[in-house]
């Protein structure tokens, strides 16, 4: 049995990663405190309930499962909340990650895959965002992720712990088999909120800002299908297990869509009107985040299969209509 410790395996991206790891022949061991995750989403391997701030619990799990690698998804990830509650973000995302990284190093588990974010780049007008772009995060979510990237660099120097860092752009969609999907409470992300508005679960989608310097005034993001994203993680794991060096990869498609374009695509996919209203900008939002890198394709052999807006919204819509978790 080749175990991989998956922190946040009960969450949106982590649960899809567990499915992908299982399909690749690994045993994904979920470590999750269930604050934002769902036990129902743990379907592909063992579950250990624990907090990243609980070092004893982490040590016991490393001892019990002897994982060959860590995939670290567990984190708070809402931009709005990060602006108003920075302490929570630094404590959970940075102190929690430091505990985990230290526990892994002491257990001799020296392969580490980390989910970072394009929010570490911040707003950069007319700059192509590749892995060597400057990092100027606009909020505590981005800053906390950048801090963990730095910790990993130091742990490599000290202990030879190699890492693959993935800087995600906007993750969307759901498992096409409907086994797992996106289910946040409260929900803050554009596509699930819009699907809620479309089927009457909430009144209307609010567009956060229509006066950005973009062609239609709304923010532009690069959306990537969650299944494509987690496939890259399995490739990243192979990269580390093949003995290759630490590397950072952007995970985006290189195509940007405005909020209004996503609304229009959702109308087309669901064949229903999107109730919406225009609102003020949301603090902490960047104008445009689009990946300008093909490094993951070139070096990892990553080939996104499902990352068209139509496919992402279609898969999310099917999950939205049929899937949910209970605490
Ligand atoms: N957005 C919006 N209304 C919402 C939620 C999001 O207009 O109710 C916009 C948000 O300002 C951003 C984009 O949709 O430009 C994607 O936001 P999301 O929260 O999904 O992801 P983020 O880019 O913050 O990681």
The residue whose CA has the least distance to atom 13 of ligand 1 is 190
pLDDT the model gives residue 126: 64
Half-sphere exposure for 88 (CA within 13 Å, toward CB): 12
The set of residues, in sequence order, having a beta carbon less than 8 Å from that of 108 and lying 6+ positions away, is: none
- pLDDT reported for residue 164: 98
Beta bridge partners of 3: 27
CA of 189 to the centre of ligand 1 (A): 6
Phi/psi region, residue 173 (left: phi>0; alpha: psi -120 to 50; beta: rest), is: left
Q: Which runs of consecutive H residues, i.e. helices, occur in the chain?
A: 12-23, 55-65, 79-84, 86-89, 96-107, 140-159, 190-198, 226-241, 259-270, 295, 309-322
Output the CA 136–ligand 1 centroid distance in Å: 19
Atom of ligand 1 nearest to the CA of 194: 8
CA gap 229, 226 in Å, rounded: 5
- Residue 265 gets the label, from left (phi > 0), alpha (psi -120 to 50) or beta, of alpha
Q: Which of 13, 285, 291 best tests ligand 1's pocket when mutated (most atoms within 8 Å of CB)? A: 285
Q: By alpha-carbon position, which residue is closest to atom 16 of ligand 1?
A: 190
Tell me how far the alpha carbon of residue 50 lies from the centroid of ligand 1, in angstroms.
30
pLDDT, position 257: 97
The closest alpha carbon to 16, from 264, 259, 319, belongs to 319
Pocket test for ligand 1, best of 184, 208, 209 (most atoms within 8 A of CB): 208
Q: How many CA atoms lie within 13 A of 148 on its CB side?
A: 36
Give the residue numbers annotated as catalytic, written as ranges. Answer: 141
* Distance of CA 193 from the midpoint of ligand 1 (Å): 9
| Ligand 1 nearest-atom number relative to CA 219 | 15
Which pLDDT belongs to residue 196? 95
Pocket-forming residues, ligand 1, beta carbon under 6 Å: 79, 170, 188-190, 193, 205-208, 219, 221, 259, 282, 285
Which residue has its alpha carbon closest to ligand 1 atom 21? Answer: 189
Task: Give Cα 183 distance to the centre of its chain.
Answer: 13
* Domains along the chain with CATH numbers: 3-172+223-251 (3.40.50.720), 190-221+254-322 (3.90.25.10)
**Which of 236-246 are b and which e, b meaning 16 or more Cβ less than 10 Å from the residue's Cβ?**
bbebbeeeeee
Distance 85 CA to ligand 1 centre (A): 18
Q: Which residues of the chain have pLDDT under 70?
A: 126, 327
What is each CA distance from 158 to 5, 102, 155, 293, in whole angstroms? 22, 11, 5, 29
**CA distances (Å), 244 to each of 11, 124, 139, 148, 239, in order?**
29, 31, 32, 21, 6
Q: Which is the closest atom of ligand 1 to the Cα of 259?
A: 14
- How many whole angstroms separate alpha carbon 235 and alpha carbon 224? 16
DSSP output for 49-101: E--TT-HHHHHHHHHHH--SEEEE------HHHHHH-HHHHIIIIIIHHHHHH
Neighbouring residues of 94: CB distance < 8 A, sequence distance ≥ 6: 144, 147, 148, 151
Q: Which of 104, 111, 94 is nearest to 246 (CA)?
A: 111
Supply the pLDDT for residue 284: 81
- Three-point CA angle 291, 214, 275, nearest 5°: 100
Ligand 1: atom nearest CA of 205 is 8
């Amino acid at each position: 049995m080749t175990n991989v410790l998956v922190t946040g395996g009960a969450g949106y991206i982590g649960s899809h990663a567990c499915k992908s790891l299982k399909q690749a022949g690994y045993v994904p061991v979920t470590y999750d405190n269930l604050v934002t995750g769902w036990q129902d989403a743990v379907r592909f391997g063992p579950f250990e309930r624990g907090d990243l701030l609980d070092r004893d619990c982490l040590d016991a799990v490393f001892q019990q499962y002897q994982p060959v690698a860590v995939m670290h998804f567990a984190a708070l990830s809402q931009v709005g909340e990060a602006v108003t509650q920075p302490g929570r973000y630094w404590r959970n995302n940075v102190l929690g990650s430091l505990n985990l990284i230290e526990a892994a190093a002491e257990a001799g588990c020296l392969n580490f895959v980390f989910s970072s974010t394009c929010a570490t780049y911040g707003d950069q007008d007319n700059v192509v965002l590749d892995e060597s772009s400057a990092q100027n995060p606009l909020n505590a979510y981005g800053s906390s992720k950048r801090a963990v990237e730095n910790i990993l660099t130091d742990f490599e120097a000290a202990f030879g712990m190699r890492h693959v860092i993935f800087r995600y752009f906007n993750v969307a969609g759901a498992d096409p088999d409907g086994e797992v999907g996106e289910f946040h409470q409260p929900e803050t992300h554009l596509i699930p909120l819009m699907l809620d508005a479309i089927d009457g679960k909430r009144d209307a989608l609010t567009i956060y800002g229509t006066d950005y310097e973009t062609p239609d005034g709304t923010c532009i993001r690069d959306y990537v299908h969650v299944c494509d994203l987690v496939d890259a993680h399995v490739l990243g794991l192979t990269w580390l297990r093949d003995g290759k060096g630490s590397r950072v990869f952007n995970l985006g498609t290189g195509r940007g869509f405005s909020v209004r374009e996503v609304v229009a695509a959702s109308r087309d996919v669901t064949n229903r009107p999107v109730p919406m209203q225009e609102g003020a900008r949301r603090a902490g939002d960047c104008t445009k985040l689009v990946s300008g890198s093909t490094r993951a394709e070139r070096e990892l052999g990553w080939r996104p299969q499902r990352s068209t807006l139509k496919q992402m919204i279609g898969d999310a819509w099917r999950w939205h209509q049929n899937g949910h978790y209970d605490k």
